[in-house]
Amino acid sequence: MFRRRIENIYKKSNPHEQKKLTSTKKQAFNRNFTGISLIALIIVIVTLCLYPKGSLSATTPSFLEAEQEFNLDATYAFVGEGIPNATITDSQGILLHPISQYPSAVYFNVTRPTVENGVCDAILEVFNVTIVSDKGPAEKFVFFTGTNYNPSFSDTKLNTLTEGIYDLFDENSINGVNGMFYFNWTQDESFLSPKVGSFGTYTSYKNDLGIWSAGKPNTILVTVHRIGRVTMTNETLLVQPDIISTNYKSQVQLQEDSDGFIKNDLLPLSELSQKNKFQPLHK
């Protein structure tokens, strides 16, 4: 079965080197999802490739009762009015609109605490991220992060490992997937995640009000909980959904400001005022 693969994998080989791998898959449902990368000028990258799910064997999913291996702290988040007239044209001349007039962007400080898992060759932990208004509308995303334990773990095996995350959620119930993988991640080392949220996502259909669709929120919450993990050991995948009683959950409330709702533990206010709040580290 072919699936539509929509995640952005940030693969890190050392703290000073980062490479972004982007791919997509088709799925048999009528949706128009276009991956957009904004770097200096607006550049649209749309890559469609069809290929079957990984060929390595996968064990029957089992429920997970294990300590969380990676900690996610929402160090920065912004939800508010998008950039006016931010339409772009793709390579086929189709006019694209931001998917929401009030998009979201969340960035996590991701830390691997002192946890050892020498049994497997590599691991991904998978999280549900919900950005919700007190009036009901919400956006739901999946974020994953992981590392290797076997020094010979390869890029090819990483692609297959990533395929396992799709057994942990219903693709039709979420707004997007992305994640990061850091080779040889040392204990207590932290990295800033790629953006999680609807900002930077475009569609050929007319955009809507998104989280503002039931009116301006009074409060906005960002809720994170682990939904499971995927490990690989000796060419075998193990997909383990979390059991409800051991879900690790965290929640932060954004503060209202002049442009929307924000949490900022990333930059001084004087510096942030000169930035695009959806891309606080973008130069």
* Residue-level pLDDT at 24: 31
* DSSP tag of 273: T
If you search the block for the tokens 């219903």, which residue do you land on? 170
Transcribe 229-248 into DSSP letters.
Answer: EEEEETTEEEEEEBPGGG--
pLDDT of residue 117: 62
- The pLDDT assigned to 64 comes to 66
Strands 138-148, 176-182: pairing kind: parallel
**Global pTM?**
0.79
SS3 137: coil
Q: Cα–Cα distances in Å, from 45 out to 95, 113, 159?
A: 14, 35, 20
**What are the domain boundaries of the chain?**
8-272
**Token duo for residue 134:** 């007190």
pLDDT of res. 273:
83
What pLDDT does 32 receive?
34
Segments of the chain scoring below 70 in pLDDT:
1-65, 114-118, 244-248
Q: Which residues, other chains included, contact 154 with Cβ-Cβ below 8 Å and sequence gap of 6+? A: none
What does the pLDDT read at residue 9? 56
Cα torsion angle, 81, 87, 90, 94, sign: positive
pLDDT of residue 240: 92
Coil, strand or helix: which one is 91?
coil
Nearest to 103 by CA among 73, 75, 141, 72: 141
Please tell me the predicted confidence (pLDDT) of residue 140: 97
* Alpha-carbon span 8 to 237, nearest angstrom: 21
Cβ–Cβ under 8 Å, residues 221 and 251: yes
Taking alpha carbons only, the member of 35, 39, 41 closest to residue 5 is 35
What pLDDT, on a 0 to 100 scale, did the predictor assign at position 143? 97
* CA distance linking residue 258 with residue 242, whole number of Å: 39
Closest residue by Cα to residue 156 from 238, 56, 58, 234: 56
